Chains A and B, each alone.
Chain A
Amino acid sequence: MVNLIWIFMILFGIVYSIFNGTIDDVNTAMFEASTQAVQLIIGFIAIFTFWLGMMEIAKRAGLLDQLTRLTRPLLRKIFPDLSPSDPALGFIMSNLTANFFGLGNAATPFGLKAMSALQEQNPNKNSPSRSMVTFLCLNTAALTLFPTTVISLRMSHGALDAMDIVIPAFLATCGSCITALLLDRLFWSFSKRRKKV
């Protein structure tokens, strides 16, 4: 999918520029873009090194585990199908906590473990269980406190206050998470009703 989009963007742009008479602009744009990407990554190194360093301290001090424990009651409400001692709950919590602090790469292994724990109890191995759908809805809605890449990108471009988007982005992500959870409940009760009829 991404592969085709990428090829299409480049080929279409080149063909369009030939008819539009902008082929020289395209020639310079290619190499400007490459330089721009390298400059951006230098900005990323600055932020990522700092933030992942801080997060490693938080992890070793057990702060992330502490937060995971605090969110447990809330998660039990979100996943009513799982028993309180379910091993999947622990993985789900670690995944969401890591995502929350902008540690996408640390979050993925936990997420995959949560999925395989959920799959073990899934009666129909080919289609997702209710808890799986809920878990992935939360993941795609991206409940993030600190969008690391976005902040570093704004810093690289010389934003006066690159952090100024943290609060509005957090409000927006809360909004999309609540929407996702409501939709999930709604779709689920519809499908349950359909099965009864």
Chain B
Amino acid sequence: MSILAIISSLFLPALISCILLFALYKKVDAYGAFTEGGKEGIRLSISLLPFLLGMLVAINILRASGFLDAFNHALAPILSFFSLPPDLLPLMLIRPISGSASLGMLADLTATYGPEHFISRAAAIIQGSTDTTLYVLTVYFGAVGIKKMGRALSIGLLADVAGMTIAIIITIWYFS
């Protein structure tokens, strides 16, 4: 596992060095490009705020009302059969439907358990390794006027289930 840890910490500096060396070789104005791209980054982050805020408020209301705990508690016996922490279930259910809602849930779990907890890590890996299937299909098919999603939807959702299962197994294996 220590080799993976070394790769993990060397990965980003190596990637950045590659990009910069390539820019030097191609005589690109790297600093100018960096600041241009950075502006786009600021715009993008700010535009995310209303979505994230709206979803975080809704999730926090559900959590503060005690409903999320009751829900998790009710499902705990079934989920523990699959050795799945019940706290991950709301995130897994909403992940294919809304990216900002699942991001809000990830934020909530990370704040509740701390970033080094197994649940936070598993949630982060689930969020990072899957996409908002329904949103992607709606936007892409909608743009060309196709109304029948057909097998694209079944494959997308099945792949989500598989991806989340793999994500949890990998989290257990990688961080133990």
Contacts and interface: CB of A to CB of B under 8 A. Distances in A.
Interface of A: 1-2, 5-6, 9-10, 12-14, 16-17, 20, 22, 25-26, 28-30, 32-34, 36-38, 40-41, 44-45, 47-63, 105, 108, 111-112, 115-116, 118-119, 125-128, 132-133, 136-137, 139-142, 144, 147, 149-151, 153-154, 157-173, 175-177, 179-180, 183-184, 187, 191
Contact of B61 (A1, A30, A57, A125): A30
Contact of A140 (B66, B131, B143): B131
A173 B129 contact: yes
B167 interface: yes
Given A56-B36, A179-B163, A169 B46 contact: no
Contacts of A30: 57, 60-61
Given A116-B143, A119-B144, A154-B115, A55 B159 contact: no
Given A49-B42, A176-B159, A26 B64 contact: yes
Contacts of A164: 5, 8, 121
A168 B174 contact: yes
B175 to A, nearest CB: 8
A47 B42 CA distance: 9
16 contacts: A5-B94, A10-B58, A16-B65, A22-B64, A50-B38, A54-B16, A57-B20, A61-B26, A63-B19, A140-B137, A157-B111, A160-B116, A166-B11, A169-B128, A175-B162, A184-B155
A61 to B, nearest CB: 4
B124 A56 contact: no
Contact of A179 (B11, B159, B171): B159
Contact of A25 (B64, B147, B149, B160): B64
B42 A58 contact: no
Contact of A10 (B61, B136, B167): B61
Residue of A61, A108, A126, A184 most packed against chain B (CB within 10 A): A61
Given A54-B19, A127-B146, A176-B159, 7 more contacts: A5-B101, A36-B111, A61-B19, A150-B128, A170-B129, A173-B128, A176-B160
B150 A128 contact: yes
A9 B58 contact: yes
B61 A26 contact: yes
B167 A29 contact: no
B75 interface: no
B119 interface: no
B128 A147 contact: yes
Contact of A2 (B25, B98, B116, B160): B98
A123 B59 CA distance: 44
Contacts of A20: 65-67
B155 A49 contact: no
B88 interface: no
B52 interface: yes
Contacts of B40: 52, 56
Nearest to B110: A157
A127 B150 CA distance: 8
A139 B124 contact: no
Given A14-B61, A173-B163, A180-B155, A157 B19 contact: no
Contacts of A158: 115
Contact of B8 (A52, A127, A166, A187): A166
